[in-house]
Amino acid sequence: MPCTDPSLDTSSPPKRNPSPYSNVTKTGIKVIIVGAGFGGLCAAIECHRQGHNVEIYEKFEELKVLGDIISFGANAGRTFRRWKTCDGERASDRLSPLSIKLQDHGFNIHKWTGELVMNQKTPPANPEAPVFNGHRGEFHSVVFNYVKDELGIPIHLGQRIEEYFETATEAGLSFNDGSFVTADVVIGADGVRSKARELVLGYEDKPKSSGYAVFRAWFPSTDMLADPETRRFCENGDTFNGWIGPDVHFLFSTIKNGTDCCWVLTHRDSHDIEESWSFPGRLEDVYKVFEGWDPLCKRIVSKTPEDKLVDWKLVYRDPLPQWVSDGGRTVLLGDSAHPFLPTSAQGATQALEDGVTIAICLRSAGKDRVQSATRAFQEIRYDRVRDVQKTGETTRDLWHKADWDKVAENPESIAFPREDWIHGHDAEAHAEGLIQAVLTQLTNGKHPESKAPREFKETPIGKATLEPVTSY
């Protein structure tokens, strides 16, 4: 909610109370962030918390509550929990009522022919590291309004960027109306099509067909409740069910105590894609994927209003050798730097970890060493992100290439992986613990974990990744 003074005359513009971080020592570092998605908003919050002067530029004219399911792991929950609000709450307190609660239900995993293989229990809730699964647009509205109304961070909407640029002393953006802005550092958090990618890489990378696509939908449970065969899912509140088959998996949830439903179907697809990869979906195409499957899957999907169905083609992007420009003042963050597979369930969470880390690096290095800060950010984040990205591939292959004879012997082998090294990570503590050593090593021209000097561009390149739909 806005930080306003209730004693003021309501006919006058509301007076904003001070930000919860107004007493933080200012660094004098000006940061421009492009993109008001989760990655950009988190980076802005964290830069504000660390005392930087930050503004956001976003191409969309207005905020709209769009999308469907998104997940934030416990490693993101720690960050949400630290964000103070004007009324003494935490940002996590506002996300919790919108999130799926699965402690009583867990995750029911079925073979594509319908047999229940196992129920994967949901870990007990940890109030200091909560997990959030819910509607992307609703979560985004909470974070967006927190940034705008409580922290008072300027968000400039309807800004069409013509070009990213930088000099030895500043980075900036030019707009299609001829205007421009500059800062000590510019963070491109505007997704896989970010124009910052070309400045950072020195070339334009092109998408490639991956051979996979995703049908997805979010809709009210009205028709589900009217059908005796599907009513049971919604009558039991929040539920999560999956069906797994050769090169296909279908995930279905009921949400908000059974009032809403959402599902995601990942499958093989040979569509040749170039610049656009999201299309209106057709139920008849979904039904073709379900041929030979448990009839219940088709019955669930049949309750979907066709105008709520999206056909999203997953496309490759070549792995990026670096996230920071040669000049060191333009940085890629989140999907702009490292798109994730939905099966990682970590895409948005890793963007949050990026925001935490870059803000700490800038504060620790100071205004006179911005280039060192951005390079330290990449050093701290690159290997971890690469390893987490790979889990999207390994989880997909775990399901799509399952040996069902072995699964019959050990049902736990088909469980969705929840790895402590991912979910137990504290991005803030991690960055604080490494930053000084990394800055020192960079100053000496050495890799922080190696005795041999290396050039900055020699950062290891991981396997090609897939562009995200959303984390599920």
Q: Give the span between the Cα atoms of 261 and 238, in whole angstroms.
A: 9
- Look at phi and psi of residue 411 and say left if phi exceeds 0, alpha if psi is from -120 to 50, else beta: alpha
Residues 6+ apart with CB under 8 A from 178: none
Sheet of strand 171-175: strand arrangement: 161-166, 171-175, 180-183
Give me 255's structure tokens.
Answer: 């949400």
Q: Packing angle between helix 74-82 and helix 427-443, nearest 10 degrees? A: 90
Q: Which residues pair with 82 in a beta bridge?
A: none
* Whether residue 216 lies in the annotated active site: yes
Alpha carbons 4 and 120: distance in angstroms, whole number: 45
Distance between CA 165 and CA 196 in Å, rounded?
Answer: 9
Q: What is the maximum span of the chain, computed from C-alpha positions, in angstroms?
A: 71
Residue 465 in tokens: 């990744």
Q: Which two tokens stand for residue 240?
A: 């999560």
Dihedral, 157, 41, 137, 296 alpha carbons, nearest 10: 140
CB-facing half-sphere around the CA of 23: CA atoms within 13 A: 2
Residue from 216, 363, 375, 381 carrying the catalytic annotation? 216
Q: Which residues pair with 107 in a beta bridge?
A: 120
Question: Quick count: other Cβ atoms within 10 Å of Cβ 152?
Answer: 14
Alpha helices (H) in 10-117, listed in sequence order: 38-49, 74-82, 91-95
Print burial letters for 321-336: b (CB count within 10 Å at least 16), e (below 16): ebbbbebbbbbbbbbb
Name the DSSP class of 373. H
Nearest to 317 by CA among 289, 334, 295, 338: 338
C-alpha to C-alpha distances, 390 to 67, 424, 431, nearest whole angstrom: 25, 18, 22
CB 164 within 8 A of CB 199: yes
**Residue 203 has what DSSP assignment?**
S
Residue numbers annotated as active site: 216
